[in-house]
C-alpha cells in the first residue's frame, strides 16, 4: 500500500500510471532533480481492456513502495482520438464546450459519450476569422470513468488524465521550460510496439503531433517473413539487437544481423519518409522553422541503423532520448528502484513524463 505523504515528502511527485497496452508501467520521481524513486511494471494479458489494465495496476501499486495517493493517468493512443482543428478564441467553460461539441462531431459520437480537450499549437493564423489551431483529443467517457473508478475504489486519487504523447513531450522538455526556450525546436520520434508518434516541440510546447502505424510489430513481422521464423523468434531477435544497441547485451552474429537489417530496411525507410513529411509540413505551417535535431525515443527507438536513415532523409542531427533527459533520469538505474529485468529509460519515457507532472500545474488547471 502507498505510504502516507508527510510534509517532508513535498518534493515527491504524484504516481505516474502509464496504461500502455503492452505493459502498463508505474513510476514516481523526486521533483527538482527529477530523479526516479520507485518504478514497477505491470503484467497484463494480451488484448486487456483499459479497465483490466487499471485493475492489474492497482494490485501492483499496492505491493510497491509509492508515496501518497495522487495518480496521473496516461491513456494509450488506441484509446484516444486525435485531430487538428481550428477553434474560436474562447476561454473557460465556453472553450471547453466548443471543444466537446467539435470532438463529438469529428468522432461521430454523442456529446455526453466522450470527454475532450484541446492544446493550442501556436501555429500562425492564415486568416482574420479569429480562430486558433488546436490539437484536439477525445476519449470514450464511460470506459474512462470505469477505469478511474477502479483507482478511486482502491483508495487512490486520479488528479489528472492525459494522452501519452503529452507525457512524452513533458519528459523530453525538462530542460526547455523557460519562455525563451520556445526557440529550441526539436522533433521526437517515439516508437512503441503497435505504432509511433511524431512530435515537434518548441520549448515545452507541442506544436505538431501525428501518429504513424509503423512500430515494433511491423518490424517483427518483416524479420519473421525474411528469415522464415515464428513471430516470437523474430521479436526475441530484435529484442537482443535493441539490448546490444543500448549496451545491455551482446551483439548477435554478423550473418543474422545483416539478414535482420535487410528485412527491416524497407519499413525503416518508409518510417523515415513519414518523419520527413511531418517536418516539411511543420516548416510550411510555421513559415520556415525547422527542428534543430530529431530525438529517438521509445522501446524501439534504438533500432539499428534507424538514426542514420533519418539523418539522411531529414538532413537533421539525430540524438537519443537519454541526451534530452535530466541527468538524474538519463543515468537512472531502473533495477535499483524496482524494475525487474533489463530495461532502459527509453522504455519509460511516457511514465516518467506522467510522474513529472507538477502539483502547481494541476492546481492551475483546476482553477481554469
**Domains defined for the chain, CATH in brackets:** 1-174+325-368 (3.30.420.380), 180-324 (3.30.420.40)
* Distance of alpha carbon 201 from the chain centroid: 13
Write phi, then psi, for 32 (nearest 5 degrees): 105, -85
**C-beta neighbour count of 99 within 10 angstroms:** 21
Confidence (pLDDT) at 343:
82
Q: What is the DSSP string of 254-297?
A: HHHHHHHHHHHHHHHHHHHHHHHHHHHHHHHHTTT---SEEEEE
pLDDT of residue 126: 65
C-alpha cell at 203: 520549448
- For every residue of 306-321, DSSP letters joined together read HHHHHHHHH-SEEEEG
Give the pLDDT confidence score for residue 304 in this predicted structure. Answer: 95
Report the alpha-carbon angle 284-195-332, nearest 5.
Answer: 95
In Å, what is the CA distance from 264 to each residue of 92, 233, 278?
48, 15, 21
pTM score, two decimals? 0.91
Q: What cell does 282 get?
A: 511543420
User: What are the pLDDT digits (tens) for 57-97?
Assistant: 999 999 988 999 999 999 998 899 998 888 887 777 888 88
Residue 36 CA: distances (Å) to CA of 1, 8, 174, 248, 338:
19, 17, 14, 20, 10
- Residue 363: the pLDDT is 42
On the 0-12 / 13-18 / 19+ scale of CB atoms within 10 A, 126 is: exposed
Per-residue pLDDT, 366: 45
Per-residue tens of pLDDT for the chain, all 368 residues: 555 655 556 789 999 999 998 889 999 999 888 999 999 999 999 889 999 999 999 999 999 889 999 999 999 988 999 988 888 877 778 888 888 888 898 888 898 999 999 998 988 876 666 788 889 999 999 999 999 999 999 999 999 999 999 999 999 999 888 888 888 999 999 999 999 999 999 999 999 999 999 999 999 999 999 999 999 999 999 999 999 998 888 888 999 999 999 999 999 999 999 999 999 999 988 876 789 899 999 999 999 999 999 999 999 999 999 999 988 888 888 888 878 777 889 999 999 999 999 754 554 454 44
pLDDT at 2: 59
The phi and psi torsions of 337 (rounded to 5 degrees) equal: -110, 15
**3-class SS of residue 8:** helix
DSSP H or E stretch at residue 119: strand 114-120
Amino acid at each position: 500500500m502507498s505510504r502516507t505523504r508527510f510534509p517532508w515528502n513535498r518534493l515527491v511527485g504524484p504516481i505516474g500510471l502509464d496504461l500502455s497496452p503492452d505493459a502498463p508501467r508505474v513510476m514516481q520521481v523526486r521533483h527538482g532533480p527529477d530523479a526516479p524513486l520507485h518504478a514497477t511494471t505491470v503484467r497484463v494479458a494480451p488484448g486487456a481492456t483499459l479497465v483490466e489494465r487499471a485493475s492489474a495496476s492497482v494490485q501492483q501499486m499496492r505491493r510497491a513502495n509509492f508515496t501518497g495517493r495522487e495518480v496521473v493517468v496516461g491513456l494509450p493512443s488506441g484509446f484516444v482520438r486525435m485531430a487538428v482543428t481550428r477553434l474560436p478564441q474562447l476561454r473557460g467553460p465556453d472553450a471547453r464546450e466548443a471543444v466537446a461539441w467539435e470532438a463529438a462531431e469529428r468522432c461521430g459520437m454523442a456529446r455526453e459519450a466522450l470527454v475532450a480537450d484541446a492544446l493550442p499549437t501556436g501555429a500562425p493564423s492564415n486568416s482574420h476569422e479569429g480562430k486558433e489551431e488546436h490539437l484536439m483529443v477525445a476519449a470514450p467517457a464511460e470506459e474512462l470513468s470505469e477505469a478511474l473508478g477502479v483507482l478511486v475504489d482502491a483508495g487512490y486519487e486520479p488528479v489528472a488524465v492525459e494522452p501519452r504523447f503529452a507525457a512524452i513531450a513533458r519528459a523530453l522538455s525538462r530542460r526547455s521550460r523557460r519562455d525563451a526556450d520556445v526557440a529550441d525546436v526539436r522533433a521526437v520520434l517515439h516508437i512503441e510496439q503497435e505504432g509511433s508518434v511524431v512530435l515537434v516541440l518548441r520549448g515545452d510546447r507541442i506544436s505538431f503531433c501525428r501518429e504513424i502505424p509503423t512500430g515494433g510489430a511491423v518490424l517483427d513481422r518483416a524479420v519473421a517473413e525474411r528469415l522464415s521464423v515464428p513471430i516470437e523468434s523474430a521479436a526475441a531477435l530484435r529484442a537482443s539487437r535493441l539490448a546490444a544497441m543500448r549496451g545491455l547485451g551482446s551483439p548477435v552474429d554478423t550473418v543474422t544481423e545483416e539478414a535482420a537489417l535487410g528485412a527491416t530496411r524497407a519499413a525503416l525507410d518508409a518510417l523515415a519518409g513519414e518523419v520527413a513529411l511531418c517536418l516539411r509540413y511543420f516548416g510550411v505551417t510555421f513559415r520556415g522553422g525547422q527542428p534543430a535535431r530529431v530525438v529517438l525515443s521509445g522501446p524501439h527507438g534504438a533500432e539499428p541503423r534507424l538514426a542514420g536513415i533519418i539523418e539522411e532523409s531529414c538532413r537533421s542531427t539525430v540524438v537519443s532520448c537519454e541526451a534530452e533527459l535530466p541527468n538524474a533520469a538519463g543515468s537512472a538505474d531502473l533495477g535499483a528502484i524496482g524494475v525487474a529485468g533489463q530495461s532502459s529509460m527509453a522504455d519509460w519515457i511516457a511514465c516518467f513524463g506522467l510522474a513529472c507532472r507538477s502539483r502547481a500545474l494541476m492546481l492551475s488547471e483546476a482553477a481554469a
